[in-house]
Amino acid sequence: MKIAINGLSIGNGMTGIGSYAWDMVNSLVEFGSEHSYCLVARKRLLKRKNWREIVVERADRWWEELHLPGELALWGADVYHSPIFTCPIVDEVPSVITIHDAIPEKRPDLCTKEFLSFYKARIYPSLRAAVKVITTSEFSRQEIIESLQVKPEKIHVVYQGISSEFNPAQRNKAEEWKKRLKLPEKYILYVGMMEERKNIRRLISAFGQIEKEIPDVYLVLAGRKDNPAYSLADTIEKSGIRSRVVETGYVSQENLPGLYAGAEVFAFPSLYEGFGRPVVEAMACALPVVASHASALPEITDQAAILVNPVDTDSIAQALLRVCKDNGLRQKLGEEGIRRAEHFTYRKFAERLMEFYQQMDSGLNRKKI
């Protein structure tokens, strides 16, 4: 097969969809070598014999609609996979789109006006044009079917995979990582975007409730902030824990394993997730996880984490305190997390993708006969 992939979201400072696209590409590089690929990206990313690259520094909607289909058809692509919810509306090459969640439909209050405008302009034309839809959890599949009226047979779950760099052995190098990244000796960790959806204000307030009972533990918040108006300063000051909170900003992909390696517990009380990649990364590093019982997180953690009510600050606080104080519980959660994370490797990601592409290709060929 000839498989084309939209990698325009891959680049410096990538999160979310960019990380998903990069994981998808790397999983296919490692475990999908029997096929040919074409990666559309803003710069050259790979040097592989079976990977062609189309470099487009300034791709916009009109380039995607008017120029890309011809490029893909000329190459002879069998399928074009976009890791975001947009694709060309002309059907020279069958398209697959990944819709990660139904947040714009279910919780528009958690989206910016700019994103909602872009989403509303593109989602339905792309859904009509796409032959198939991939999503990242059964939870998201049901939400998308319900909110976007997608036919159940059109949408399929392909769980994401993460790099093998996230592994329990990183914990053996915890002290080395702490020195390199200038981290405190003991800390509760959050990794993700700095935005309202992630529920970081309640996490800070929860830490403020218990900080006197764990006087040697800090709260480390790692992630990029895209909205300049979003600030945690007032919440931190109100909780009286300014000296105990470390804000790292964006942490590169190569340093992320080290961030997880030295933590006592990973806290992820998000209000809505279609998958929750940081939770899987933490579990793969044998880090105990306290996560929200909302959206896809119960499905992804599958009893390998302590789940809390994300709108109940006391619930978050007590779970964090319990894990910090109970060595046996930390050990148990770490072991269960490792086992659960084995379901989300690059190998499994590539196998699921290849099975999906081949089934799709067979279905299209049957229709041509």
Q: Does residue 252 sit in the same domain as residue 292?
A: yes
Residues 181-200: tens digit of each pLDDT:
999 999 999 999 999 999 99
Are both 251 and 204 inside the same structural domain? Answer: yes
38/173 same-domain check: no
Closest alpha carbon to 249 in 285, 215, 267, 224: 224
Report CA-CA distances (Å) from 80 to 8, 50, 64, 355.
13, 16, 12, 15
Statement to judge: residues 260 and 145 lie in one domain: no
Residues 22, 135, single domain; the answer is yes
- Spatial separation of the C-alpha atoms in residues 258 and 281, rounded to whole Å: 11
**Model confidence at 359, in pLDDT bands (50, 70, 90)?**
confident
315 with 350, same domain? no
> Is residue 130 located within the same domain as residue 54?
yes
* pLDDT value of position 364: 67
pLDDT at 369: 41
Are 306 and 353 in the same domain? no
Q: Answer yes or no: do 191 and 219 share one domain.
A: yes
Domain, as residue range, for 199: 168-344
Same domain, 247 and 312: yes
82 with 212, same domain?
A: no
- My answer on whether 179 and 75 are in the same domain is no
For position 109, which CATH number holds? 3.40.50.2000
Query: How many folded domains does the chain comprise?
Result: 2
pLDDT digits (tens, 9 = 90+) for 27-85: 999 998 889 999 999 888 887 888 999 998 787 778 888 889 999 999 999 999 999 99
